[in-house]
Amino acid sequence: MPYFDSASAAPLHPVARQALQAALDEGWADPARLYREGRRARLLLDAAREAAAEAVGVRADELVFTPSGTHAVHTGVAGVLAGRRRVGGRLVVSAVEHSSVLHAAAAHEGRGGTVAEVPVDRSGAVTAAGYAAALEPGTALACLQSANHEVGTVQPVAEVAEVCAAAGVPLLVDAAQSLGWGPVEGAWSVLTGSAHKWGGPPGVGLLAVRKGVRFSPRGPADERESGRSPGFVNLPAVVAAAASLRAVRAEAGEEAARLRVLVDRIRRRVARLVPDVEVAGDPERRLPHLVTFSCLYVDGESLLHELDRAGFSVSSGSSCTSSTLTPSHVLRAMGVLSEGNVRVSLPPGTTAGEVNAFLEVLPGVVAGVREKLGAHSVPGAVPAAPPVADSVELDALGLRCPQPVIELARAIVTVPVGGTVTVVSDDEVARLDVPAWCAMRGHAYVGEAPREVGVAYTVRRLV
């Protein structure tokens, strides 16, 4: 069964498995102790730190291991903010950061700090100018991911690091998605990573803080990991994480070129094989293994279940597949379609045959889901009868994605060109998907207005 969700967790690399087993036999003792077993464990820990630091591009004494990538982000953000509290309490983040960064930002706001979000364009990219404008006096820290976890867009970290340095503001880079593919360029100040994203074991993160960055660990500290990640380190997992990072880096150039060809094939053929699809993310400046697309008139949860039944494991940013009714904050910030969203992230070793099989199955799966929703006849449908009214209002209260958009698509052909359709919906996703539908189908989004229950979204027919 092809597994296409390595952006969530990559399969354990064979080198990680071998290193983990060896470290379980040799590295079980406390590396802080001076007896034989402790010295042996310390040698393993030092070697792992040297290997990870070399891959990141820092000195070994600038890098510590943490219990997870999320822990590394939270520790990094809180530590720099505390170390620079005399500068001010302003934190700058991009609108598409991983939830771990946004949760840290929310906690900072809860403690009385302020947070500014830098917007992105439709491809999901920030600009250095956007960060420069946000770096007001009193800014203690800026955060920027190296590459987006949902759409794969690679961010201009080096350029943003330059404007941050000019403003005297440290830059924290969440490199979870990109670190296995290569080092992060630029004069960043703090960097975090997560081993299970590059084929290491889960439960290992890394935090690199370059010399000269003011950093004050939060919470109780001990003598381990420079006081930045207290507690007994999971040495076997750390050894496996460092070994696998070195291994994937050695293979990265060749594997990236191979997977980029396969992802390019998906990007091209999905748009041709499936009607009413929007492929998201920068087509060039992106991770080599990841592609995201959204399908109009499709329930994302049903789509994922059907693909799973067909033998393909993929992920989604659709609100229909989450525990909330809000769309992915990444897709929302980009202003692209969220319904029927599919994220394909190919692990190393994925074959052309597996990708071709996915492309053969996908059109039928999407058509089947649309048919179940009664939307199979909507795309491109033109009624023989003349329009029935200059304006139509639809009551879509209680309907969840993608039903409000399906109802809109059916109704738009009942008004003349220049006429309007208003959809009243209490589904938060409509705020994103109605304008996205207009952009895809060539109509004008007039705007929204609050109602006693729900929100009214108005569309003007142009074609």
User: What is the Cα–Cα distance from 366 to 199, expressed in whole angstroms?
Assistant: 31
SS3 for 46-103 is: HHHHHHHHHHHCCCHHHEEEECCHHHHHHHHHHHHHHHCCCCCCEEEEECCCCHHHHH
Tokens representing 461? 């027919």
Tokens representing 331? 């897709």
Q: Which residues of 405-439 are buried (b: 16+ CB within 10 A; e: fewer)?
A: bbbbbbbbbbbeeebbbbbbbbbbbbebbbbbbbe
Tokens representing 286? 């992106």
The amino acid present at 322, given as its one-letter code, is: S
Burial of residue 326 (number of CB atoms within 10 Å: 0-12, 13-18, 19+): middle
Q: What is the DSSP letter of 386?
A: P
320 is catalytic: yes
User: What is the Cα–Cα distance from 205 to 216, expressed in whole angstroms?
Assistant: 19
- Coil, strand or helix: which one is 336? coil
Point out the catalytic residue in the list 164, 320, 401, 438.
Answer: 320
DSSP lists the bridge partners of residue 145 as 174
301-to-161, 314, 322 alpha-carbon distances in Å: 39, 11, 8
Residues designated catalytic: 320
